[in-house]
Structure formats: structure tokens, C-alpha cells
Chain A
Amino acid sequence: MRLLFVDDAPEMRALAQRAFDPTHDTVRVAASCAEARVALRDELPEVLILDVALADGNGVVLCQELRGRDIDVPILLLTAHGDVGQRVAGLDAGADDFLTKPFAMAELRARIRALARRGPWTRPSLLRVGDVALDASARRAWRGGDEVPVTRREWAVLDLLLARRGDLVRREHILEAAWGEDTASARASLDTILSRLRRKLGSDVVETVRGQGHAIRLDP
């Protein structure tokens, strides 16, 4: 994996370089927004890890700037528990996931792997599927004009389906990307979530090809 780790604490940058296996992963680091821009100009990483509090700016603002420049690499924001507003702003700015400091290394690796598997894709601001409207960046959904609640797990599956824009997504791929494992309990969870999505958004929104996978039915 090619990673870019942006954090203004030197010990965090040193750690990021030691925490990944150098034979498989390349970790570049940047200490500021300016350094991050230079690093991104050279080469786009597979996953960008961005601390929100940087010496020369805000990670959320940088995230918004990158999305504005059509840079669609997955972005993981590092925030604090107290920064509720920052998490909401981060989603709006196009970040894909959050991790709150302090975190365990295993958790960081798992989140990065999940984002790398999903690949580059910027959440569309508003998508329409029949009478359903989906705002994936604000994490809100409407059916026939009424808002319906879609939870984080449900969005994780929806995101994967939306990223393929109506093409079939294999079950194993969804399980790997959203659960990190293909186990009996993960498969049961996926089935629960798919049935909930059909209940909330309509039975014809998610199509299932038996034994192969699932696809979202997008308007032409």
C-alpha cells in the first residue's frame, strides 16, 4: 500500500513509518498542509491519513480543497472525541472515515486496509434511485420526500454499491471491505443490513444475483 501520513507531531510520523511492513507498504509523511500538497503533487497515495489539527491549517479544510481538485483518494481523518462539529464538517468535506486519538495501531491498520480495498471514489453529493434520494456525503437519505434513517453500517454497504455505479459487487468483496472478514456472522449481518435497506429504501433498490453478489439499481 502507498500511504501518506500527515501529522504535525514528529513522534506520530516516526511511528507511522515503523508501524507498516516496508516490504509491502510505502509510508510517506508530511508535517503540514504545505508539505502534504507537495507530496500529493509527486504521487497520489492509495490512502491519505490526515490529522485535523495541523500547524499551518485545518485537515478538514485541506480535505475539502483536495476534493475540490478532484483528488478522490480515500481519506482517513484523525480527530478527537470532543470534536463533534469537526466530524460532521469532515464528512461534508468528503472524508471517508474517522479515527479518534488516542487509537490502537491495530485499529489504524484495519481502517486503512478497508479504505484501500474500496479504492478511490468520491461520494456523490446527491444520487437518485427511483423515488429515493441519497446524499452520501452528508449521510442522509429520503424516500418520496420523507427522510429515512440510514445507519453507518448500512451506509458502508451502500457506499460500496454506489461506488460501482450499478455494477454487480461480489458478496466476498463487500464482506472483506465492510467487515474485514468473510465469516458466518459477517454474512448474517450483511443479510440483515440488506433487508433493512430494502425495507427503508424500497425492495427494488438493491438487486441480488443469487450466489454472486449485489448491485444498486441507479436511474439511467
Chain B
Amino acid sequence: MPSVSTPEAAAPPLHPTPMIRRVAWAAALAAALGGTISAMVSGLAAAGAITAAEDAALLRATRDFADEIHEELLEAPEDDSPDERAHFARHHGPRTLQNLLVHEAEQIDLPGIQATVRTPHKHDTSPSRSLPPPVGSCADNASDPRFPRRECAVAFDAEGAVLVLSVIQPHRPHRPFWFAMAILSGTLSGVLVGGWASFVGARWVVRPIDALRERLDGIHTAMPSVEALDPPLPEVELEELRLAVVSLVARLGAALDTARTFASHAAHALRTPLTSLSAEIDLWAQDVERPPPPQRLRQQVDTLIALVHRLLALGTAEADLASTGVAIDLGELVMDTVAQRSATQRARLDVSTQEVTVRGDEHLLAIMLANGLDNALKFSTGSVHVHVHTDHTHARVDVVDHGPGLDPADAAHVFEPFFRSRTARSSNTPGHGIGLALIRHVADAHGGHADLERLDDDTTRLRITLPCWRPAPIPSGIHTNPETARAT
């Protein structure tokens, strides 16, 4: 079997990555960045809004508190009922500003509430020496780290005294932590949801590209047809790409047609002169009065005849021979083909066959099998195993040889017409690169296929697979059922 090393084989191996993954990664990063920023912005805004609302409520409470204290100070003790006076004296003692503040603070349901009136020169009621927040605003008071406080100040009298209302806000110090958690969860959910969504989205975006690739896969290299690329695609970019490929395939098809027609015409033109030449040699050989023709002449003409037969077979238009052909016993045809080889070639052939019927053209199948055997005999030195077998759906002919082996770089090309591997050329192995192309062409025309497989380093298997014989539709006008036939 042919083996070469092509320049492409020397290139470093490329590890292609799916485009979907690239798109998904990019979108996941974008989503993570977006998630972080939006979590930060919304977190800051929420924290600010909560603080502002809490401060506004506390400031309002402070103002109400200051008004209440003012009213109490202006009232005479007699304004209260005797019960109230007794209650105040029992719980708070004398009716001082400090006691009034404690008494009024008890009426308000806020955690750890403390009310103080502060002024540097007059009745300062605060035990702490720290500065109060500016009048009409709120600030943190972290003097006792166990009980973080928020305090608001309002003006208390004309001399500049301020009333400070202070409450414990136990959750306030944890806010930075929850804020960080919000950013983190925003980022994470951005990555996960964004990554997943973009993966799904990328797949959706790439789907038309996949569809186009599948259509391209449907183009037959031996017979490129633009019909596989129909119908038009709705995506503008892909439709432009499709049209470019359609144009390329059409030009390739035309070039191939020209080459094939030329080869076929050349072969047709050679048929009659070659028959005549071959017959002349035959007649010369039969003429007892002349010396026999040189053996080399006979061999050269036979080689030329075989080449013309191959070119003609390769020029056959693809037809559905699996449904229009006649019944052929493939095992028998293999035995006939083997019998036509020379004695030396037959000695190298190890054949096992069974009866398996296919439908097709006997001449084309015979030339296909002859090429399969000749190819294996040519590219190997030892014995060649030919095995005909069936699974009752498909008939298979395996031709296994032990030669230089099939170079993986060649595997994709060996079935192309006129492809000659470098070893085949450098070792002067005779041939024109038609054999395997012809095998595939004939197998395809019969609804089957041909594959060349490397079993190990020096073992190559050519497997020709053909559909088994199946009944064809009965032509109209033929009554095969005796009952109906008798009735008509």
C-alpha cells in the first residue's frame, strides 16, 4: 500500500478549541465584571438609602424628644396629676433636667436609647466627653465597641446647648461584611448564570455554522455538486459564505468534469487501435512461419489495455446500480478475478469466499476487484489475504496485505484520482494513481463504499462494502403472481 511523508506531516500539531468555548469564556468574564459593578453600585446605593432613612427617623425622634422636654420644663409640677408626680418621685427622684430626660427616654421604644443635653458651659448632662454631632445631623459613636451607637443632635436652647439622642444599632458594624458578600455573590452569579447563558447562546449562534459545515460534508469529492449546499441561509454573513463556496464547488466540479471527459474521450479513442494492436500481436503469435513476437510487446500492450479499461470505468457516470443492476455472486466473481491473475500472483493469494449475491454491473465490479487485488499485490511482497463475507445486509470483500503500510498522512488522499504517494513514485512502483479511485467510484455507484485501513505498522486492509441483493420494484406490466396472471 502507498506510504509517504508529506510536508504537512512535519507541521506542529494544532489543538483546535471550539469557538463556543471562546465565546462562552468571553461572555462569562463580561458577565462577572458587570455583576461586580452592578452589585457594588446597588449595594452602595442601598446602604446609603438605609442609613439616610434611619438617620431621618432618628433625627425626627430627636426633635420630637426636644419639644417634649421643652414642654415639660415650661410646665409647673402642679400641671401633672398627683399620681404622676408620685410615680416620677418614686422612680426618678427630684424633677431635674437629667431625670426628665431619663423619664422621657423610657417612653420611647428604641434599643439602648439615651438622651443627653450637651453644652460646654452650662448644664451638660452627658457622661462622655466626646463632641456631639453638628446640629441637625447624625454620626456614629464608637466609644463602646460592644454597643455601637448612632446619635443625632438638635438645638436645645438659645445658648447653644444641643440635645443628643443616641440609640444602639447592633447590625451596623456588619454592614461592610454583608456589602462584600453582596459583591461576591453578584460576581459569582454573574459568572455562573452569564457563563451558562452565553454557552447556550453561543451554541445557538454557532448552530447555523454547524449546519453549513454539515452541508459541506455532504459534498462528494469525486462528484462535487452544489445541490448539497441548497437552500439559501437566512443569516446574511453565512449566506455570503455559502454563495462563495457554491461558486468554488461549481468551478471545481466543472474542472473535474473537463478532466474526466478528457480522460474518457482519450480512452474511447484508444479502444479500437488498442484492440487492433492486441489482435495483430495475437495473429503474429499464431503465425508459425515468423519468429514469435517479443514477450515485452505483449506485456506493454496488456498494461495499456488495462489502463484504458480503468479510465473508461472511472469515466462512468454515477448510477444507482444497486437497484438497476443484475444479480452477481460476489464470491464467484472474486474467484474468477483470482483465476485471471498470473501463476506467480495466484501463489501469493490466500482466498476464502462464500456465496453472497449483490446487484450491479458485472464488468465494473470485475474491474474493481481486479484493481483491489493488483494494488495489494503491487504494494506488498508477502501473501495477500482475500476474504469475502456477509452479515446478510452487506457484502464485504477484504483484501489484506503486508507491505510498507499506509501512511496516515496519505489516508485522506489515496482514493483521489491520479494521487500517487511519494514512496510509490520514488520506488518506481508502476501505476497511474487510478486503482483506488476506481475502486471507490465503482463501490459508490453500487450504493456501497471502499475504505483503506491500517491494521498495524505493515498490515493494510482494503474493505469494499456493497449492499446485499434486494428485490427491485416489479416493472409495470409484468404479472409475477401466477394467480393474477391466470386471471388476466
Q: Indicate whether A and B interact.
A: yes
* Contact present for B364 and A81 (CB under 8 Å): yes
Report Cα–Cα, A138/B317, bound state, in Å: 22
B110 interface contact, C-beta 8 A: no
List CB contacts (< 8 Å) of A22-73 with chain B.
Answer: none
Report Cα–Cα, A138/B13, bound state, in Å: 56
Q: Given A15, A81, A105, A106, which contacts B316 in the complex, CB threshold below 8 Å?
A: A81
Binds A, one of B73-81, B449-457, B468-476: B468-476
Chain A nearest CB from B338 CB (Å) reads 14
* Contact present for B478 and A102 (CB under 8 Å): no
Per-residue B-contact encoding for A183-202, CB less than 8 Å = 1, 0 else: 00000000000001000000
B427 interface contact, C-beta 8 A: no
* Contact present for A19 and B283 (CB under 8 Å): yes
Chain A nearest CB from B286 CB (Å) reads 9
B39 interface contact, C-beta 8 A: no
Instruction: Pick the most buried of B274, B308, B321, B471: most chain A CB atoms within 10 A of its CB.
Output: B471
Binds B, one of A116-124, A129-137, A164-172, A174-182: A129-137
* Contact present for B321 and A147 (CB under 8 Å): no
A80 interface contact, C-beta 8 A: yes
Chain A nearest CB from B467 CB (Å) reads 13
Chain B nearest CB from A130 CB (Å) reads 7
* Contact present for A100 and B363 (CB under 8 Å): yes
Question: Given A82-B315, A151-B332, are A133 and B480 also a contact pair (CB < 8 Å)?
Answer: yes
Residues of B within 8 A of A9 (CB): 272, 276
B324 interface contact, C-beta 8 A: yes
Chain A nearest CB from B251 CB (Å) reads 25
Tally of chain B residues near chain A (CB < 8 A): 50
Residues of A within 8 A of B357 (CB): 149, 151
A210 interface contact, C-beta 8 A: no
Report Cα–Cα, A12/B272, bound state, in Å: 7
Residues of A within 8 A of B479 (CB): 133
Tally of chain A residues near chain B (CB < 8 A): 41
* Contact present for B279 and A15 (CB under 8 Å): yes
B319 interface contact, C-beta 8 A: yes
Chain B nearest CB from A12 CB (Å) reads 6
B326 interface contact, C-beta 8 A: yes
Q: Given A81, A135, A153, which contacts B367 in the complex, CB threshold below 8 Å?
A: A81
**A9: nearest chain-B partner, CB-CB:** B272
List CB contacts (< 8 Å) of A122-165 with chain B.
Answer: 126, 128, 130-131, 133, 135, 138-140, 142, 144-147, 149-153
Main secondary structure of the interface of B (DSSP, over half): helix
Report Cα–Cα, A130/B480, bound state, in Å: 11
Q: Given B264, B272, B279, which contacts A82 in the complex, CB threshold below 8 Å?
A: B264
Per-residue A-contact encoding for B454-488, CB less than 8 Å = 1, 0 else: 00000000000000010110110011111001000
* Contact present for A82 and B282 (CB under 8 Å): no
Residues of B within 8 A of A100 (CB): 309, 363
B102 interface contact, C-beta 8 A: no
Residues of B within 8 A of A98 (CB): 363
Chain A nearest CB from B380 CB (Å) reads 27
A87 interface contact, C-beta 8 A: yes
**A15: nearest chain-B partner, CB-CB:** B279
A88 interface contact, C-beta 8 A: yes
**B314: nearest chain-A partner, CB-CB:** A82
Chain A nearest CB from B250 CB (Å) reads 24
Residues of A within 8 A of B225 (CB): none
List CB contacts (< 8 Å) of A1-27 with chain B.
Answer: 9, 11-12, 15, 18-19
Chain B nearest CB from A70 CB (Å) reads 21
Question: Given A81-B363, A84-B361, A147-B472, are A101 and B326 also a contact pair (CB < 8 Å)?
Answer: no
* Contact present for A15 and B276 (CB under 8 Å): yes
Further 8 A-B residue pairs, CB within 8 A, beyond A104-B282, A126-B478: A12-B272, A82-B313, A82-B317, A102-B274, A133-B478, A135-B478, A146-B471, A151-B328
Closest 7 CB pairs of A and B: A149-B327, A142-B480, A147-B471, A81-B312, A102-B274, A102-B275, A101-B271
